Amino acid sequence: MPRKPIVTATIERLEILSPDGSVDEALLPELSGEDMVGLYREMVRMRAYDEKAVKLQRQGRMGTWAPLKGQEAPQAALALAMEPEDWLIPAFREHGIMLARGVPGHVLYAYWAGDERGSAFPEDVRVFPIPVPVGSQFAHGAGVGMSLALRGEPGVAVTFGGDGATSEGDFHEALNFAGVFRARTIFVIQNNQWAISVPREKQTAAETLAQKAVAHGIPGIQVDGNDVFAVHVAAREALDRARSGEGPTLIEAVTYRLGDHTTADDAGRYRDPEELARWQERDPIPRMRRFLEARGLWDEQQELVLTDEATAWVEAQVEALEAMPAPDPADIFRYMYAEMPASLREQMEELREEVSS
């Protein structure tokens, strides 16, 4: 008998907004001018917040920071697409969408300053704490999405990760469970081309990351991750699918990490400057500004006002961070268990004695 194909798959790529600010009108999402301007404002605020954090780290006022510069579009797009009842399960470079979903800026800064209170979000903020192990958040995202579906509760779980995280076992286990149990989960991969110092082509042989959805029986789509409209359209489609009980979706947002992996890294040691220059031309923020200006929705005066507003807001977050009372060292023991085990309580008392002596 001749061999017959039994599975075929097509991975689509979605692009709407070009680097020069022009758009495919047929694909442009139905957003008001106010929403479009809001996307731009949000991305500018994210970058201002991020750039200030890098300065704080260099000044010794904060610990290690994972810059998001260049990756604002996926985060702004998902924030606009999500509903209040949805849950965000971030990785460690999702400062922007965490802010947009209600995490106070000074609280998020506190986390990176080594303060346990930096994971204590307001009760009405549906955002999980930042995970450190690469890829572990995918299982959390699948679990939340499964729980929402099983309980019949409203909401969708949106979980983020980088390209390197798709080579972790947690990623495949999470997609497998989500696919089997039709979890209300959206997996967003910010493919920024680098898994620390390892280029994307050296950590996976797959032509796209979106196609990894195929093996788990769920839809996958690749979008231009520097095109805020393309990400928004893909996000809305995925969220609608999940809400209607059709299960999870994998979105690969092809973007670029314009900064270092973290402030403990020096990307200049392994990255070609010409590659960086090419991606800077695709920066999502100037791209969106060109679009808005061409539509008569933005001008230089508005830009100056926004710059001042973003700067003032960021400085207010720094002031709030540095006005926080000194943390209790015992906090490092308090937030793992609902009821602290005797072994940890003993260690906590030993630390208290050490600190007070």
Q: How far apart are the first and last CA of the chain?
A: 82
| Containing structural domain, residue 223 | 12-326
What is the number of domains present in the chain?
A: 2
Q: In terms of Cα–Cα distance, which of 198, 183, 197 is closest to 246?
A: 183
Q: Is 253 helix (H, G, I), strand (E, B) or coil?
A: strand
Residue 238 and residue 344 share a domain: no
- Token pair, residue 62, equals 């904060």
Q: Is 21 helix (H, G, I), strand (E, B) or coil?
A: coil
Residue 212 and residue 142 share a domain: yes
pLDDT digits (tens, 9 = 90+) for 95-140: 999 999 999 999 999 999 999 999 999 999 999 999 989 999 999 9
Query: Can you say how many angstroms the Cα of residue 21 is from the centroid of all Cα atoms in its chain?
Result: 24
pLDDT digits (tens, 9 = 90+) for 288-298: 999 999 999 99
- Token pair, residue 338, equals 């609902």
Contact by Cβ (8 Å): 280, 211: no
Give me the percent of the chain exceeding a pLDDT of 90: 93
Residue 341 and residue 204 share a domain: no
Residue 152 and residue 56 share a domain: yes
pLDDT for 79 equals: 98
Residues marked active site are found at: 257, 261, 270
Angle at 70 between CA 64 and CA 76, to 5 degrees: 100
Please report the DSSP string for 261-301 in residue order.
SSTT--GGGTS-HHHHHHHHTT-HHHHHHHHHHHTTS--HH
Residue 249 included in any domain: yes
What's the rounded mean pLDDT across residues 222-235?
98
Residue 245 and residue 180 share a domain: yes
pTM, entire model: 0.95
pLDDT for 356 equals: 84
Residue 5 included in any domain: no
**What is the distance between the alpha carbons of residues 141 and 99, in angstroms, rounded to a whole number?**
19
pLDDT digits (tens, 9 = 90+) for 69-100: 999 999 999 999 999 999 999 999 999 999 99
Residue 356 and residue 313 share a domain: no
- Token pair, residue 334, equals 């308090």
Residue 2 included in any domain: no
What are the respective helix, strand and coil percentages of the chain, to the nearest 5?
Answer: 50, 10, 40
pLDDT for 212 equals: 98
Residue 298 included in any domain: yes
Helix (H) or strand (E) segment spanning residue 137: helix 136-151
Residue 1 included in any domain: no
**What is the distance between the alpha carbons of residues 135 and 240, in angstroms, rounded to a whole number?**
25
**What is the distance between the alpha carbons of residues 236 and 88, in angstroms, rounded to a whole number?**
15
CATH number at residue 191: 3.40.50.970
**What is the distance between the alpha carbons of residues 47 and 42, in angstroms, rounded to a whole number?**
9
pLDDT digits (tens, 9 = 90+) for 151-186: 999 999 999 999 999 999 999 999 999 999 999 999
pLDDT digits (tens, 9 = 90+) for 13-70: 999 999 999 999 999 999 999 999 999 999 999 999 999 999 999 999 999 999 999 9
Residue 270 has pLDDT above 80, yes or no: yes
Residue 6 included in any domain: no
Residue 340 and residue 315 share a domain: no
Residue 60 and residue 111 share a domain: yes
Q: In terms of Cα–Cα distance, which of 273, 251, 257, 135 is closest to 196?
A: 257
Give how far Cα 125 sits from Cα of 98, 116, 194, Å. 9, 17, 31
